[in-house]
Amino acid sequence: MRTQVGIVGGGPAGLLLARLLGLAGIETAVLERRTPEYLRARVRAGLLEQGTVDLLAEAGVGERLARERLIHEGVELAFDGGRHRIDLKGLTGRVVTIYGQAEIQKDLMDAHAATGTNVVYEAEDVSLHGLTGDAPRLRYHKGGSSHEIACDFIAGCDGFHGVSRQAIPQEVIRIYERVYPFGWLGILSDTRPVNHELIYANSERGFALCTMRSMTRSRYYLQVPADEDVADWPDARFWTELKRRIPADAAAALQTGPSIEKSVAPLRSFVAEPMRYGRLFLAGDAAHIVPPTGAKGLNLAAADVRFLAAALVAHYSGGDTDLMDGYSARCLQRVWKAQRFSWWMTGLTHRFPEASAFERRAQAAELAYLASSKAAQMTLAENYVGLPL
C-alpha cells in the first residue's frame, strides 16, 4: 500500500492531523494499536484553550463541542481555608472550554468513519523504516498477516510509550525529564460539580483539584505518592480525604456518589529534542509530557498538529519546505513555555515531600502574593488560557 502521510497513533492528535490533511486533499493512513471501543471510553483531559477549540472547528468536528461545552471565565485557588478567584476573562479577554477528550475522540472517529479515512485499529508490532531516505515505510501485523505502507512522510502521534520516538537513534535525540514523587488519584462520578469553575486546592494534606466533564459528571483528583495502589482507595476513603483538602464551604456542598472510573496517573515533565528526524515528525505526547496541573497536554498536541498540518500542506501545494524545516524549533518554543508554566503551577499547588520548612513558607508567600497582586494574576491567566500561536 502507498500513501502520502503515514500516521502512527489514532488518538486525538493523530486523527486530528489526518482530518486536517484530508480536508486539504492529502492522503493519509492511520495505524492504531488499540480498539475503537477502548479509545472511545478512555478518560483523559477535558480543558481546552480557544486555539484548540478553533482548530477543531476548522477540522469540521466542532459542532457538538460548541453545543455541549462548558465555558469557564475564571478559576479558583484555595489555600489557608480561603478561595481566591482568578478572573481569566477579565484579565485576558479569553476563556477556557470544558469538553472531555473522550468526546473529541468520538467526534473525530465519527468524522473519519463518514469519509472513509484509512484508519487501521488493532495494528500490532508497528515499526518505522527508512526515515532518512526518500521512501519511509511503516510495517505492522493485523489479523495474522504482515503489511507495509510506503509513505512520503511519517507523523509519530503514538504517545509517550509509542514506537515513533524510539525509532530515532539515541545519539540524535536529547531527553529532558523530571519525574515527580507523586501522582494524581482521579475519580469520575455522575454527581453535580462542587463548583461551576475549577478549584485548585493547596492543603497541608496535599493537593486536590475539583473539575468536571459536564454539569452532571464530576472529575476530582488527589495528590498521592507515585507508587500508590488504586485498590487502596475505596470510594468512601476518597470522598473523605477530598473533603479534608478543600475549603469547608466546598466540602459542605460536595455531592458524593459511586465512582465510574478511578486511576492513578504519575506526573512527569518530559521533552524530546528534536521533534523531527529525517521524514519523521513527532507530535503530542510522543515528544513531550507536561504535568496536568496547567492543563496543557492536549492543547500542546493540538498546536503541534496545527503546525505540522500547515507544513505538510505548504509542501504538497507548492513545494515549500520552510515550515517543515522549522517545525521542530517552532513547536519546541511553545513546548518549553508550557513546560515552565506547568512546572510552576505544580510547584505552587502541591506538597513536595522533600521540601524544607523554608520552601514551604516561600510557597505560602507566593500563594498570598498571587491572591493580592493583579500583575501576578495576569501572568497566571495569560498562560492558563493559552499563549498566542
Active site residue 296: yes
Report the pLDDT value the prediction gives residue 270, as an integer from 0 to 100: 98
Instruction: Given the residues 72, 112, 288, 350, select the one marked as catalytic.
Output: 72
Mean pLDDT of 185-193: 97
Indicate the average pLDDT of the chain.
Answer: 97
On whether both 196 and 260 belong to a single domain, the answer is yes
Q: How many domains does the chain have?
A: 2
Cell output for 114: 463518514
On whether both 25 and 39 belong to a single domain, the answer is yes
On whether both 42 and 56 belong to a single domain, the answer is yes
pLDDT-above-90 percentage for the chain: 98
Q: How many CA atoms lie within 13 A of 358 on its CB side?
A: 0
Domain that holds residue 188: 180-267+353-384
On whether both 121 and 18 belong to a single domain, the answer is yes
On whether both 282 and 297 belong to a single domain, the answer is yes
CATH of the domain at 120: 3.50.50.60
Q: Is residue 246 part of a domain?
A: yes
Q: Is residue 46 part of a domain?
A: yes
CATH of the domain at 368: 3.30.9.10
Report the pLDDT value the prediction gives residue 44, as an integer from 0 to 100: 79
Active site residue 106: no
Q: Is residue 89 part of a domain?
A: no
On whether both 60 and 158 belong to a single domain, the answer is yes
Cβ–Cβ under 8 Å, residues 278 and 173: no
Q: Is residue 358 part of a domain?
A: yes
Instruction: Given the residues 99, 140, 180, 200, select the one marked as catalytic.
Output: 200
Q: Is residue 90 part of a domain?
A: no
Q: Is residue 83 part of a domain?
A: no
Cβ–Cβ under 8 Å, residues 74 and 88: yes
DSSP letter at 163?
A: S
Span 253-304, pLDDT tens digits: 999 999 999 999 999 999 999 999 999 999 999 999 999 999 999 999 999 9
On whether both 36 and 58 belong to a single domain, the answer is yes
Q: Is residue 67 part of a domain?
A: yes
Instruction: Given the residues 136, 193, 291, 292, select the one marked as catalytic.
Output: 292
pLDDT beyond 80 at 45:
no
Report the pLDDT value the prediction gives residue 42, as an integer from 0 to 100: 84
On whether both 225 and 338 belong to a single domain, the answer is no
On whether both 327 and 200 belong to a single domain, the answer is no
Across-strand partners of 30? Answer: 7, 119
Report the pLDDT value the prediction gives residue 222, as an integer from 0 to 100: 98
- pLDDT-derived band at 389 (thresholds 50, 70, 90) equals confident
Q: What are phi and psi of 68, to 5 degrees?
A: -110, -10
Active site residue 72: yes
Coil, strand or helix at 385: coil
On whether both 154 and 292 belong to a single domain, the answer is yes
On whether both 114 and 23 belong to a single domain, the answer is yes
**For residue 120, what are the contacts with CB-CB under 8 A and spacing of at least 6?**
29, 30, 31, 32, 140, 142
Instruction: Given the residues 296, 316, 327, 350, select the one marked as catalytic.
Output: 296
Q: What are phi and psi of 8, to 5 degrees?
A: -100, 115
On whether both 140 and 281 belong to a single domain, the answer is yes
Report the pLDDT value the prediction gives residue 41, as an integer from 0 to 100: 86
Q: Is residue 80 part of a domain?
A: no
